[in-house]
Structure 1
Amino acid sequence: MTARITLPLPGGGTESRTLREPAGWQRPDGPPASRIAYAAAHVVADPYADNAPDAPARLDWDATLAVRRDLWSWGLGVAEAMDTAQRGMGLDWAATRELIRRSAAEAAACGGRIVAGAATDQLPGVPDTLDEVVAAYAEQVGYVQECGAVAVVMASRQLAALATGPDDYVRVYERVLREAGAPVVLHWLGDMFDPALAGYWGSTDLDEATKTFVALVHAHADVVDGVKVSLLDADREVRLRELLPPTVRVYTGDDYHYPELIEGDGRRSSHALLGAFAAIAPAASAALRRLDAGDPAGFRAILDPTVPLSRHVFAPPTRYYKTGIAFLSWLNGLQPGFTMVGGLHGGRGVPHLVEAFRLADSAGLLLDPELAARRMRAYLDVAGVAG
């Protein structure tokens, strides 16, 4: 049956839209061989809990873990407890601990890849000393590793607030890396994702910050599995690939330019650790299979049409992209409702989410068009928008 829906237009009025059939991508037998690919997964709020701003996070564990099993079924790894899971935007450390434990157990049960974020967000406010930042990092890195996941050392708001220059960053990270006990991934998250991280690595000049970052990685390449770069600057990521030791992977976090960065330039390429992959998992999976088969043109033919959706979901203010990820998950039947911890389901307006619906349809990413149309009508009805 052909699904149809009436959608509001940005300038007023409506349009009648016939939804396209889903692309029919098939779930693979295992992960891709040519690249390592992680999807940064969001969390599903318990709709019966008071997940208001500043309230403790309460999750729908069945739905949250089902989202992760779906990602593994597409051959993707899961990047757990990252900024996509609302670290610093509603997900507190108590809920994060439980999330990491449960997801790591699920990964072990199904043989799925998993990395998990380790930060310093258990600290109340800005600490007095760098030693407190080191201790907080050590606690979280140790916990992630005890649970059986690879630790992603996330950027720290507390360190950004306390550090007086690049030397403070180096001192903290060197101690964290010496104590890690196993290789980790370093995450450089740009301030477009979190304004509190402006000037990370001790400088607002990205060239200077890059020098500090690269020197740190070279000095500790034996314990750095890779780096995740989330600066939305493809040229800078390409240059960074050339500056890092060849043993250190670059995991792109660029949700604007991922097709060309993953394909590479004939010399080096990026692996993936992307929030966008949580929204486009079937297409990402199919595209990576084409890359495995030595068909870069086929890879781009599948992945390039997903970029307009990703660019829209991650449009400024970029930190609210999580709202779009959760909305698309709900449209595709991966969770029962569209509510988020911290009340973040209000992070995007009706026009933004309507356009996300259109772009997901255009990319063939509404996997059950009838269900998606029914849920979109319900959302518009609640919003008071004629549709």
Structure 2
Amino acid sequence: MTALPDASFAPPPGYRLRLPGPTEVPEAVRAALGRPMINHRGPEFRALLAATEELVRPVLGTRNPVVFLAGSGTAAMEATLANILAPGERVLVASHGQFGERFAEIGRCLGAEVEVLDFTWGEAPDPAVIGAKLREGDYGALLVTHNESSTGVVADLEALGRLTRDTRTLLVTDSVSGLGGIEMRQDEWGVDIVVSASQKALMCPPGLGLVSLSERARARVQRNEGMPRFFFDFRKALAAAEKHETPFTPNVSHLAALHTALRLIETETLPKVLARHHRLAEALRAGGAAMGLAEFTKAPRRSSTVVVFEVPAGLEGGDIVRLMYQRHATVIAGARNRLQGRVIRIGVMGGHDEGTVLTDLVQLESVLRELGHAVSPGAGVSAAAAFLAG
């Protein structure tokens, strides 16, 4: 049977996906998605799963086993909490943006006793404040967003790991928007669980979550008084992983895509991938500053995978997002939270190069000028180019 193509959801010519996730998928990764389907209980799949796990471990900075889940990053976050917390157990969330709030909401929905330390959006979680709070009580876990894509702030996981390493509190981090574009040293920093997903710096379509668990996190998973779970039961997943299998039907094509994406990272080398992300993000910041766009992020650790600009006075973020699409077929992000209308966000994730960022700035300048914001012609591109040449 041959189905006719449906053009109703096809993107317009010249479409550019510049969100902070999902990101553009490299052609080699797209091709991997179209490989013939294989037996998910056969030797080919076991070899694929084993090879993918081995390739992702250096990106995580771990020798831990990695659980792969059919689901989004949020699914991996929920699965993690369901596996390490017991009903009514206390958990501390160091929240500095939208996804810290999500971690807290998931914990409450599961029946945990959630306490939240709120930090100003745009600032980083303060390890001293968190340490003082941890000393006040017995917490099963400390939850923190590694790379807060709503604000562009990166948390100091190394400092937080020193706080929890010798306690019963597990350090759990959401690095959905960080892994693959920002350094992660899970074992060295004492991070017990890293939660991530496929659709951001790992350059794959949405739909694949991954969770890396330390030895003491795995011990917590095995206790009998945990939350009810079935499909997302890490006890089953870890036992299956020892045989390079999954307990239930996996998203085979996504794993093939992730394997290819990780091979691309391995070929470029991880240090060069991380350096490229940092360099492009800094060039975008330099260009934005030259056009009068102040950076929303105030913390010293700024994201290498998303740049967050404040919207100039008199303008509305949604108008910038809308015109970028209407005039240039380029999709950037605003905010769907308390920052709505106040910021725009541009992703620097995956296989981008200098031309990507320079194009962003050319298009952004034209939109800002159309909306009445005074910009010296070529100022953004010139500033970014000067940075890149330095």
Same fold judged by TM-score > 0.5? no
Flag the structure with larger Rg.
Answer: 2
Normalising by structure 1, we get a TM-score of 0.36
Q: Which structure: greater helix fraction?
A: 1
